[in-house]
Chain A
Amino acid sequence: MAIYYFTNAGEPCTPFEETGEDLMKKGLAIKATVPDGIEAWRLSYDTAAKAVVVYADGQDEAGALTQQQTDVAAQKVTDDAKDIADREA
């Protein structure tokens, strides 16, 4: 496990203690423990649940990228369907 600092919006901010603790003092960061070996883009902090969220949890980086491609492709299908529905409405 490692320490990571998130913004108050729950986005990855910094892994560096000096920078993170400075931001904490200014009320600009949240400190949390994150799993080792996870790329930062997969990390976020749920400010309501006060918990770290790992995108595609349980998968390696390649698996997470594949998952993101799948999610985006699904979004594209949804977008296109909505476009057609909006035009025909």
Chain B
Amino acid sequence: MANLSSYLGGQSDPRKEGLPLFGLWGQESGGNHNTNFRIFDSGFKNVGSPWGGATGTTSNYRYGIMGDASHAYSMSDHGTDFNSNHTTESYTSYTNYCKSVYQIDQYPHAFYYTASRNGHCSWQSYHQITSSFEYTVGWTKLNMVLPEGNRPRRMFCNRRNSMREKSGNNSCASIDHYDYTSHLLETTNDYATGTGYNEKTKTLVMIHSGGEGDSAAKTIHIFKSGKNLMTCKKIKEFFDELTSVEYFTDSWALPNNKNWCVVVGNNDWVGFGAKTGNTKKYCAFDCSVKGVGQNLTGASRRYLDWQDFAGSVTTSYSAENGNQYYTRFNTTWDGKWGMIFSSYYYYGPGINAFAMSLENPRKFISINQTKSAYPNPYVAWGRTGFHGGDSDNTDSTSWQTYSFSFDPTDSDHTVDTTVYMGSSSGEATVPDSNSHVGGSYTNKTGSCSLTESYTQLTGGFNSTCYPVLIGLNWWGAYGTADQSYGGQ
């Protein structure tokens, strides 16, 4: 397999990180004092650095040493929203999404904060948030399937017929721009509304729609190149070395096309999925080379038929309610499983997700968690899992999270999918029986309802505390002292 390691002559891929870390921000209910921020590895061991804060004569000023939102004139831009339950916010109430499921995806930056692995966290200013990259066009980011331990360190965006490289979650100048119109075989639909890339197969798959709104017309292009996009100095190099271009047309109706996610599997099957309003659907298509330029129908490439999300749905937002609600994509640390996910409830709690094998996107199930208050985002966890989704009060109890993981060796879509889960007691997670803890779910129509897992961690404050789960920018270089060893 040619990946960046190969190009480096067998040296370790500098992008590769150790097993995932996460941050936990705790404080009293008003968000003004007893602030506590800790960094944990996937074994829930503390790996960050201690820090100190100083406060003024009033506890209403949070700790300036942290560079957090206390810099603002009102001193409470985000200050009293850490116990937000996400019931009353409209999509213009920027201050309340710190714990939303929309906070972070596979990219190492987060929407409302930036946090280092050493334990420095600062909230973004919300004053210009509607002009920020993530709020407005974050949905144009490519969905990446990368080798083990890699998160996308380069960010390519695709809109209309142009790909651009950006430098992170900001609205600064693009690093590169390339108009690939000349490589398209069919140009009727000229709004790129979902793009996925697989580094192993050097395959780029784009959805072009008749518009970014509710246009059903679709043209799907499949580009294969001899050049890895992630090693190109200019985007043009990928297109200059194309070895195959194919397309198919189809009609996929959704109220908003900004929600589409494209998951390019290692076996050339590609999962397309989106959530809009209370509808969420997914389907895998055979995007292997059929003959240069051949225009097969979408139906002829399809695995069975579109699958509606099989779990519980309730009123929830997606991109038509505000760009920041676009459907997201994330992968496990080992790059074996991914999920297309969105909120279960209105503005951020709960999760509606399709989880799919990245080896074979025909293997997929629904993932369901029906919280309607006190959310947290989900982040990659351990080798082949995710956790998050809960910020309930930790007063007189330990912090709980919803953890789940998959079998990294399981990519057979003809057998049920095993999901490993936790519980509220060790006696249940390592039971006095030979039973599997978790569930086994029928491919395509199965739905896994997550269960909460108790941890040994405090929320961070001895009284009322609704901890914030924080995604981190860097988990540490794999195999070095920078990494928190996770075992194997």
Interface residues of A (CB under 8 A from B): 7, 9, 11-16, 18-19, 22-23, 26, 28, 39-41, 61, 65, 68-69, 72, 76, 79-80, 82-83, 86-87
Contact = CB atoms under 8 A, between A and B. Distances in A.
A10 B314 CA distance: 16
Nearest to B372: A41
Contacts of A13: 311-312, 368, 370, 447, 449
Given A14-B312, A72-B85, A76-B29, A82 B463 contact: yes
A22 B442 contact: yes
Interface in B78-96: 83, 85, 87-88
Contacts of A39: 314-315
7 contacts: A7-B451, A13-B447, A13-B449, A15-B312, A41-B372, A76-B83, A83-B29
- B interface: dominant SS: loop
A41 B314 contact: yes
Contacts of B344: 41
Given A9-B451, A26-B439, A65 B314 contact: no
B136 interface: no
Interface in B414-460: 439-440, 442, 445-447, 449, 451
B373 interface: yes
A46 to B, nearest CB: 16
A68 B372 contact: yes
Contact of A82 (B308, B350, B366, B395): B395
A19 B370 contact: no
A83 B310 contact: no
A26 to B, nearest CB: 7
B354 interface: no
Contact of B370 (A23, A40, A61): A40
B368 A41 contact: no
Contacts of B312: 11-15, 40
Contact of B368 (A14, A22, A86, A87): A14
B439 A80 contact: no
Contacts of B446: 19, 22-23
